[in-house]
Structure 1
């Protein structure tokens, strides 16, 4: 595990939001590949014993350009994907070197920099990859070009042909570098100082108990922006002993009520049909909206707010803090926002509390790219303003300027 053998090399990974991350180990001639991505992508790679690479020639900003799609097949037609813009730069040269080799080593990390899989791997079409990349046009980097490539890659992939599938490069996993069923604990005090911590922060790749691990991941993400003393995991109501919210964040200015919905991370769930996954999201969202309605009611009626975490009671005067509702689900599909938005906006119309629905990868992006509570609130306000105006929430994109 790189985490154990070369922790000093992983500093750059900590703030890397996700994707392909070539790395060179001192004393080794060949590059290794780190892939930082959500657990579903990692499980798909494990089950398929690898993943596929598509190199897409594009015209972006009027220039001959190129992008790369890394596909992790949970669905034959619409797999989980990572989008990579390619330029005339060192990063692209390193990717070309990596995938032009018959043999490579792949390490897979989740969004919290926890190393869950590692494999020796092969690319049987390495020579073809090297030749193909040599024929591609790579423009100099610019933010505008990167934005345009990222806009065009999903369209290209959605319209890909059977020939494109045939010409993709299969990265096949061989022997694992370490056991692929790791249970990882983080015993650092800084990771476990939030209210309601029952055991050290922990994770594993395959999860039957979806809610428990998902709530820990949400806490872990929120710790990037908020202080541990502001975060409460599974606070219980004082009046009936039932759960108030999944996660509560109380800052000097704002109360964030977080309701979370996830599904087990297992082979059975991952391989469900796309239609089944879409319907599951809608069902989870409906339940979360109902729960959020109850949470808002309790926050307003119980003055001061009385909750407990573990064996500790809390009595908090919320004063004139703003209430904000956050519903976090496993995944949202871009084509379905006209379905997701009305019930959440309807909850605002009922309660006058701004409420939002994000999928977990979005929450990760918000907390990686936004430095503090003020930036977090500002981003939510942008989303809310557009949602009210159009009746449908937008997705924010970080690291690149907004589309026109």
Structure 2
């Protein structure tokens, strides 16, 4: 595992938001490929013994340009994807070098930089890839061009033809570089200092107990911008002994009420139809809205707020702190926000508590790109203002703007 043999790599990887990440290990001539992505992408790669690369010639901002889509097939028509804008720079030269080789090593990390899979891999059409890329046009980097390429890649891939599928390059996994059923435990004191920790922070790729692992991932993400002492996992009501939230955050100014819904990360669930996945999201969202209604009611009625985490008892006067509801689900589909938004905005109309629906990758982006609570609140306010105006939640995009 790279994280064991070369722990120094974690520094640069920690600031990388996700995607393809070529690296050259000192003493090695060949590049290796790191792919940083959510667990569903990683499981799809494992089940398919690889992934596919689509190269798209584009006209972006009036210039000939190029982009690449890495596709991880959980669904034949709408697979999970990573988009990569290519420019006249060192990164693109390394990408060309990687996939122009018929043999490469691939290491797959989740959003918290945990190495879950590693394989030796082959690209049987490496020579064709090299020839194809030599004919492409690469423009100098600019933020505006990057935004346009990413927008066009999404549209291009959605409208791809059978010919595009035939011309895609298959990166085929061979022998694993280490066991592909890893259970990873993080015993660092600072990672486990939040309230309610029962066992050290841990993860694994294939998950039957979706909720438990998802709640830990949310805590891990929140630790980027909140203090451990602000975070409470699985708080229990003092009156009836029932859990009233998945994650509670109490800062000097704000109380964040987090309800999370996830599905098992298994082959059976991953290979469900898109229609089934969409209906599952709606069902989870309805349950989460009902639970959030109860959580808001308890936070308001129990003064001071009394609850337990593990064996610890807490009694906190919330004072005039603002209440904010966060519903975090497995995935949201861009075409379905007109369905997701009414029940969440309806909860605001009912309770006067701003409530939001995010999928977990979106929460990851918020906590990765926003420096502190003030920036987090500012982003939420921006989203909520637009949601009230349009009666539909927007998605924020990070990393492709001057401030971003």
Please give the range of the TM-score, normalised by the shorter of the 2 chains: over 0.9
**1:193 and 1:388 mapped to 2: Cα distance?**
37
The residue matched to 2:33 in structure 1 has which SS? strand
* 1:100-120 deviations in Å (ceiling 9; x for gaps): 000000000000000000000
Q: Specify the alignment match of 2:86 in structure 1.
A: 86
Measured against aligned partners, the alpha-carbon deviations of 1:43-100 in whole angstroms (never above 9, x if no partner) come to 0000000000000111110000010000000000000000100000000000000000
Following the alignment from structure 1 to structure 2, what is the Cα–Cα distance between the partners of residues 59 and 78? 24
Which residue matches 2:372? 372
Deviations 1:146-165 (A, max 9, x none): 00001111100000000000
CA RMSD of aligned residues (A): 0.6
Taking the aligned partners of 2:150 and 2:378, their CA distance within structure 1 comes to: 24
How far apart, in 2, do the equivalents of 1:351 and 1:316 lie? 21
Determine the C-alpha separation between the residues in 1 that align with 2:337 and 2:231: 29
Structure 2 distance, partners of 1:188, 1:259, is 26
* Alignment partners' CA distance in 1, 2:224 and 2:348: 27
State the aligned residue count. Answer: 402
The aligned residue for residue 393 of structure 1 is 393
Who is 1:164 aligned against?
A: 164
Q: How does 1:211-230 map to 2 (within 5 A)?
A: 211-230=211-230
1:8 and 1:191 map into 2 onto residues whose CA distance is 19
- Secondary structure of 2:8's aligned partner: helix
**What CA distance in whole angstroms lies between the structure 2 residues aligned with 1:78 and 1:8?**
36
1:101-148 CA-to-partner distances (Å, cap 9, x unmatched) read 000000000000000000000000000000000000000000000000
Q: Does 1:75 align with 2:92?
A: no
Equivalent residue runs for 1:344-355 within 5 Å: 344-355=344-355
Unaligned 5+ runs, structure 1: none
Q: Once the 2 structures are TM-superposed, how far is the Cα of residue 15 of structure 1 from its aligned partner?
A: 1.0
**Structure-1 separation of matches of 2:325 and 2:250:** 12
Distance 2:309 2:399 in 1: 37
Q: Give deviations 1:289-329, integer Å, cap 9, x for gaps.
A: 00000000000000000000011110000000000000000
Length-normalised TM-score, structure 1: 0.99
Distance between the aligned counterparts of 2:88 and 2:10, measured in 1?
A: 25
- Superposed counterparts of 1:182-193, under 5 Å: 182-193=182-193
SS of corresponding position for 1:397:
coil
- Which residue of structure 1 lines up, in the alignment, with residue 6 of structure 2? 6
Q: State how far apart, in whole Å, the 1-side matches of 2:251 and 2:270 are.
A: 37
With the length of structure 2 as denominator, give the TM-score of the two structures.
0.99
Q: 2: CA distance between counterparts of 1:357 and 1:286? A: 11
Residue segments in structure 2 that go unaligned for 5+ positions in a row: none
* Separation in structure 2 between the aligned mates of residue 325 and residue 251 of structure 1, nearest angstrom: 14
Spell out the pairing of 1:320-359 with structure 2 (5 A cutoff). Answer: 320-359=320-359
Aligned to 2:174: 174
Question: Where do residues 289-328 of structure 1 align in structure 2 (5 Å cutoff)?
Answer: 289-328=289-328
What are the equivalent positions in structure 2 for 1:242-321 lying under 5 Å apart?
A: 242-321=242-321
| Structure 2 Cα separation of the partners of residues 112 and 384 of structure 1 | 27
Displacement of 1:9 in angstroms is: 2.5
- Which segment is superposed worse, 18-27 or 4-13? 4-13
Identify the residue that residue 204 of structure 2 maps to in structure 1. 204
Shift of 1:401: 2.7
Does residue 52 of the first structure (1) align with residue 52 of the second (2)?
Answer: yes
Displaced runs of 4+ in structure 1, greater than 4 A?
none
1:117 is paired with a residue whose SS is: strand
Cα distance in 1 for partners of 2:8, 2:352 equals 49
Indicate the residue corresponding to 1:111 in structure 2: 111
In structure 1, the residue matched to 2:63 is: 63
1:170 is paired with a residue of what secondary structure?
strand
CA distance in 1: counterparts of 2:354 and 2:304, whole angstroms: 21
